[in-house]
Amino acid sequence: MAFDTLLPRPVSVTPAPGSCPWPSTVDVRPASLPPEGYRLSISPSGVVLEVADAAGEVYGRETLRQLAGPAAFRAAGFTPSSLPCGVVEDHPRFGWRGCLLDVARHFRTKAEVLRFVDLLAAHKLNVLNLHLTDDQGWRFEVPAFPRLTSVGGWRPSSMVGSGGAQDGRPHGGFYTGDDLREIVAYAASRAVTVVPEIDIPGHARAALAAYPSLGDSSSYEVWDSWGISTSLLSPSSSTLDFFRQVFDHLLEIFPSPVIALGGDETPGATDEHRKFVRLLAEHLVARGRTPMGWDEVLDIDGLPPMVIGAWRNEDAGVRAASAGHDVVMCPEQHVYLDHRQSADPGEPIPVGWVHTLEDVYAYSPALEGPRLRGVQAQVWSEHLDSVRRVDYMAFPRLSAFAEVAWSSGPRDYTEFLPRLRDHHLPRLDALGVEYRPLDGPHPWQTRPGVPGRPR
């Protein structure tokens, strides 16, 4: 397997004559390199991997696996008898190379989350933004408040597509504290940080169904529809104390320096709701963490320095940086992977704008400078009711996004496409990823008759 098959594209490659017997011992050495960087030297006498840090070793070994060919990605670990000689020097473009996985709308089992972590690591992505709570389900066990999962963790039915029809099928699930500790440790061993998200003060119907006193009504149900619910948490002192306890328990499990608290899509929010968000952000700061919110929180006065997820547009990220916040660019116009992949009516449950593989590969954030932490793709799951549907919507677009996030310099889609098609898709095949074929869905990947919400 040649060096020009690597994805994401490395900073530099210097091929050399000869081959290296494989498998072989890898001599790992520390080196003065940029953060997460590595220098991989392959010669007839062996492999030397110089690394900046533990993450650099993970990425250097992933490059070795790619050079060993697609069969090396199978669980049995088949490998060739030799590797090409040469030197790969590499480090990432951005420090935050993220993907959001929504496990609230449709629950993904622990095993499926671990598999998704493996897929992020294989693409040198390093942040899993785990969206744990929403109107349609609460997936985070809090022992002090057991009804969050016993009541908020399941719903009696789900909307099919966007037409209002219900499937009548109960849906639920949640992660225990030990499940989440396992996910965090597993991800850390693969240089992936898990950033949890508990969404407040909107997207909270599941919590309200469990504890109606958190709201302004005596009765709520876990929502069985998609869209934006108008139900908000009551910005009372008792609700604030409740969520301080929830976030304190979250901090015991997740060591991530950044903790996400949502703050988006809150029709009818008052100044008291905005103060509620600010006080919880200050609580996270007092606990030594950096709060992260979606860009709507920029309308809140007196926020502490935060990480802002700029999702509504590029201008939101520029505004956030100007206000002194760090920014993760994740605009829905470019990197929402639940959006449809072509204008063909055969695309299953067509949602949002058309984001083709080429569109995602062409994305480059409008913001530059020290306030830009990086970029993040989003996998919202209203219409992704199985891991097969997640595979179809995420890949191979997430592979293209990985090169956006990792590789510096100009990008050429005509160079990328054959590298993806001829070399990287076989790796995804070996991993068992049911991605969307480049020429459109397989028949079993379509959803005839299920209405979407295209824009």
Angle, vertex CA 91, rays to CA 406 and CA 83, nearest 5: 100
Catalytic residue among 123, 203, 283, 355: 203
> Which two three-digit tokens encode residue 303?
């926020």
Q: Which of 285, 272, 251 is nearest to 293 (CA)?
A: 285
**Active-site residue, 221 included:** no
Structural contact between residues 233 and 214, judged by C-beta atoms closer than 8 angstroms: yes
Burial class (CB in 10 A: 0-12, 13-18, 19+), 355: buried
Residue 423 has φ and ψ, to the nearest 5°, of -125, -40
Closest CA to 315 of 334, 331, 293, 338: 331
Active-site residue identified among 53, 224, 264, 265: 265
Q: Specify whether 265 is catalytic.
A: yes
Asked if 173 contacts 209 with a C-beta cutoff of 8 angstroms, the reply is no
Q: Which of 90, 134, 197, 434 is catalytic?
A: 134
Tokens coding 429: 């095949």
Longest dimension (CA), the chain: 75
Are 291 and 284 in contact, with CB atoms under 8 Å apart?
A: yes
Residue holding tokens 């320095």? 305
Query: The tokens of 435 are what?
Result: 């991605």
Distance CA 313, CA 295 (A): 9
- Is 424 one of the annotated active-site residues of the chain? no
Active site residues: 134, 203, 265
